[in-house]
Structure 1
C-alpha cells in the first residue's frame, strides 16, 4: 500500500476517536517516521507496539490514547485480520502453547527480567497484581489491603495449611504466615521469584518450590492463586481446576484472583504475547465457571477491575522515576516497551475492556455469603 493511502486510512480510523496525527493534545500521536503508516496497516497491533519501541511515533499520554482506541473497539472496526493476528489464532487453536513442557517460558522471559526492576516498580512486598485501593492511601497500603481481603475471604485460621499457586516473590505467603499463623507452600515457574521468595520467608512456616501446578498432589485447607491463571490457557482450564480440586480438602476454600476479559477468548494480543507475557491468555468469567462446573460451588464473585488502572499508573510512575537507577542494565527500547506495556494495560481497565475478578469456590458449599467490599456476613 502506498504511503499516502496508508496515512489517510490511519487518519480515518483515528478521527472518530478524537485522536489527531501530530496534534497538540496529550493523547494525539506524533509521527517520527513516515513509514509508520504502512507498517501499522500491514502489521496491526504487533506493528503498532514495535514501531513505538523503535521510536517511530510518540504520545505524551499513551494511556489516554489507548483508552480511546479500546472504548471505540478499534480491533472490531478493522476490516481484515493481519497475518500476525492470524498466526496467534492458529497457535492458540491448534497448539497447546501452555502445556507442561512450555510452562517455564514465561518465568524466564518475564518474571526473570530482573528483581531490581520489580523492586523499584512494585510495593515493598513485591506484589505483582492489582492492589485493593478501598481506604488505601498508597501502593503499600493497597497491596496489604488486597492480601488481607483474600485472607478474610477464605477465613484463614492459625494452623491451617495453604497452597499458593503462582506465589510470585512470596508476598502473600509471607503475609499469611506472619499475620494469620498458617503454613504456606508457594509454587512458581520463575527461578528468580523462587530464590527471592525463599529468602523473604526465612524463619516462617513457608516452603517455596519451582514446579508446575500440574505436579501438585498434597491436600490443603485453603488454596489461593493470585495473578497466575492468566498463564494457564483455555486448553488447560479444566485441568487446572481438576488439580485444585485434587489438592483441596473437602471442607476447604479456593480463591482465584485473575484478570479477565469480557468475552471468551482463545488467543491473546500479538504484541503482549510476543514481548511481555508469552503464552498468556485472559479468561472470561464464563470460561472460568465452565471449567469449575462439576468440581466446585461458586460462593462469591467480586469485580475489582477499577482498582487495576490506579495500580498500573503507580507502577508506571515508580518505573519512570527510578529509571536512572537501572538504565545501565537495559536500553531505551526496553524503556519504551515497558512504558507501552504498563500504560496500554492501564487503559484496558480504564475502558473496562479488562476486568479483575476474585472468585471464591468451595467443594461442598458453605453457609456464609460475601458482599461487595469483601466483608463477611453470616
Structure 2
C-alpha cells in the first residue's frame, strides 16, 4: 500500500479551510476597522518604563488555503529606551513579520495578529498595538514608530519627487505647520543624512539618485518626525560594502542625536556585533536565545546560535568548507509539538523528545530555550 502524501490537500479540504479562514479573518479585520473607539480599549501599562516596546507572547498568523502559517509563534522580548536590539535568524524565521506586526502593516486579510501584546511606551502613557484600531495606529506609524524598509529601490514612489514624499509625512503628523516650514524641515532631514545639495535633491525623482542616496532618503523619511523607535529592516542589503559602513555609521550617529531606540533586523552577524546592545535570535517563528550582545556572541548557548556562529568565515583561519547547519526548517503549516530545531540538532538530549523547551535563564539577561540547560544553566555552550 502506497504511503499517503502528507503534503497533499484535496480541493474539498482546501475549500473547507478557506471558509473557516474567512470567518476568522473577518472577525479580526472588523476589530481593526472599528471606529469611534475609546482610548481606554487599548491603553495599557509597561512592565518596565525603561523599555520603548515590549513584545509579550505575540502570535501572528497567515491564513492560507492550505492551512495556517504560524509566522510568529509566541515571541517575547523588549527594546530598551535608547538602545539597539539586533534580531537575527535565517530567512522566514519571523523577523520582519514581528516588526510589521508592530507597525500594523501585515498583508491583510490573510495576515493577522491573533493573540499577545505589543506594549508601546509613549512617555506619558502606553498603548497595546495589538488592540489598536487602524485609525488610531495611523497617528503612531511614522511618528512614534518608523521603519526603514529593506529595499531602497522600491521603497520610494517613482512618480513623485523626493520633496513631495518627505513633505507628505510631515504634513500628516504636523498639520499646523505652514508649507514653508514643512519644506524647510524636509530639506533639513536631507542634510541630516549627509546628502550635499539638499535643495537640489528635494526637487529630484528617485530614479535620479544612486542606491546609497536613495537609502539615505529612506532613512530621512523614517527620522523626519523624530520617532521614539526606528525599525531598520535589512537597511544595507542592496548596498556595496563601503556604502554599508556609511549607512551604519549614520544610523548610530542619528540614534544618538534624536535619542531613539533601534530594532535592527539583519542576517549579517558582523553588523549585529558592531551595532547592537542586545541580540534576539529567532528560529521558525520563535525566540530561541536572547541577551546582551557580548553574552550571545562570546557565549552562545542554543545549538542554532552556535551553528550560526560557526558558519561565518573567520579572518586568518583557513578551512576547506564553511560549516553548514544540516537539514531544513519544518513545514510552517504543520509545526511539531517538540523543539522546532530538534530534527536539525546535533546536540540532542533525552528531554528533547518531549514538549517545546521553556525559557531558561543562563544569567539575569541571557535567556535560552534549550533542554540541555534545564538542570545546569551554567553548562558551557560550545562544548
| TM category, shorter | under 0.3
User: Which of the two has greater helix per residue?
Assistant: 1
User: TM-score, length-normalised on structure 1?
Assistant: 0.26
The structure with the largest strand share of the pair is 2
